[in-house]
Amino acid sequence: MLKLINVIIGIFFLLAACATGSEQLAIAPGNEVDTSSGQNGSVRFLALGDSYTIGQSVRESERWPVLMVDDLRRAGKNVASAEIIARTGWTTRDLINRLEGNPPSQKYDIVSLLIGVNNQYQRRSIEEYETDFKNLLDKAASYAHGGKSKVFVLSIPDWGVTSYASGADRNKIAAEIDQFNKIAKDECSKLGISFIDITPISRTVVNDNSLLATDGLHYSGKMHQLWVNASLSVVKTKL
């Protein structure tokens, strides 16, 4: 009888130790960092941005990050579905706040950044954009396997050529967009980060209304595909 009691007591302490160990090893969601290179060996792609990245007014299948994955798969790359952190109306500061409040919980093989149009639209200062953009480049690099060599930036499209801007000073908008893009390009150059200029492509909408989304402000899936076409060769070199 005494022997049986000792066995029961031993089992009790063993279970208690296991429970305590589980509590000590538990990692809260959002703090865990996955350093693997994608599920089942697939490439992970994180896209950061605003309405142009989320694909405002186009179908999910027509968003440029989704189209990028499609083209990479056709090229024989094993790529997981794109993970997008973006929202219509976001400025650089909004994106920073989102990333600092709820950072990515894993590492990625490629990371993209397209941000700034709302800084220009809301008349935020160039100085603020420069500071924030540097911050975002650092964050993007920290989320990527291989750091900054796995990051690429798309320039800000020119919304001034859209029908939505018909009553605005289009030359002024274009000049300001160019100024923001120069900051982005210069900062990318300093860090050796790939910068892809899609702004001239966005301006071709004046000759082809099919490149414009139905809301008259954002761009159609056809335009999103043109951005992918301009970026694909650069992205392939990062895989």
Residue 45 burial (C-beta neighbours within 10 Å; 0-12, 13-18, 19+): buried
User: How would you write the pLDDT of the chain (239 residues) with one tens digit per residue?
Assistant: 444 444 343 433 333 333 333 222 222 222 222 333 445 569 999 999 999 999 999 999 999 999 999 999 999 999 999 999 999 999 999 999 999 999 999 999 999 999 999 999 999 999 999 999 999 999 999 999 999 999 999 999 999 999 999 999 999 999 999 999 999 999 999 999 999 999 999 999 999 999 999 999 999 999 999 999 999 999 999 99
Task: Kindly tell me the sign of the dihedral angle through the C-alpha atoms of 216, 222, 225, 229.
Answer: negative
CA 70 to chain centroid: 17
Read off the pTM.
0.83
* Cα 199 to Cα 155: distance, rounded to the nearest angstrom: 6
34-236 — its CATH code?
Answer: 3.40.50.1110
